[in-house]
Amino acid sequence: MEPIRVLLAKVGLDGHDRGVKVVARTLRDAGMDVIYSGLHRTPAEVVTAAVQEDVDVLGVSLLSGVQLTVFPKIFALLEEHGARDMIVIAGGVMPDEDVVELKKMGVAEVLLQDTTPDKIVATLKRLVTERGAR
């Protein structure tokens, strides 16, 4: 079985990337192929990279409170690229009511800052297994 491919991204003006770097290392240590897109990316840059890299999972880390405006853009761009089957997860810091809204939009999972590394790995493996081959 090929390793799970993941693109991790920081969208917008949020300049804090320590947490996403820890997640990237955790996923790599679990045998996944991980691409980290760096800070201050636009939704278009992130979706283009995810499609070009043919990732299984697009993980977007946010601490800046823009999740309810960023994710609709991401889903619209995935639709335009014919990649709506890509698993999208959110991570970072956000209020509980936003978690509910994100899941309604199509975010597969929201992993907040207190999610353990083991749970992050298990969640990605479960989501990819549930989706099956693309």
Q: Residue 17 in contact with residue 48, Cβ under 8 Å? A: no
pLDDT tens track of the chain, all 134 residues? 799 999 999 998 888 888 999 999 999 999 999 999 999 999 999 999 999 999 999 999 998 888 999 999 999 999 999 999 999 999 999 999 999 999 999 999 999 999 999 999 999 999 999 998 76
Query: How far, in Å, are 13, 69, 92, 108, 109 from residue 126 at the CA level?
Result: 31, 27, 20, 11, 11
* Domain spans, the chain: 33-128
- Looking at CATH, the fold of the domain delimited by 33-128 is given as Rossmann fold (3.40.50)
What pLDDT score was predicted for residue 120? 98
d(CA 13, CA 42): 9
CB-facing half-sphere around the CA of 60: CA atoms within 13 A: 35
What pLDDT score was predicted for residue 97? 95
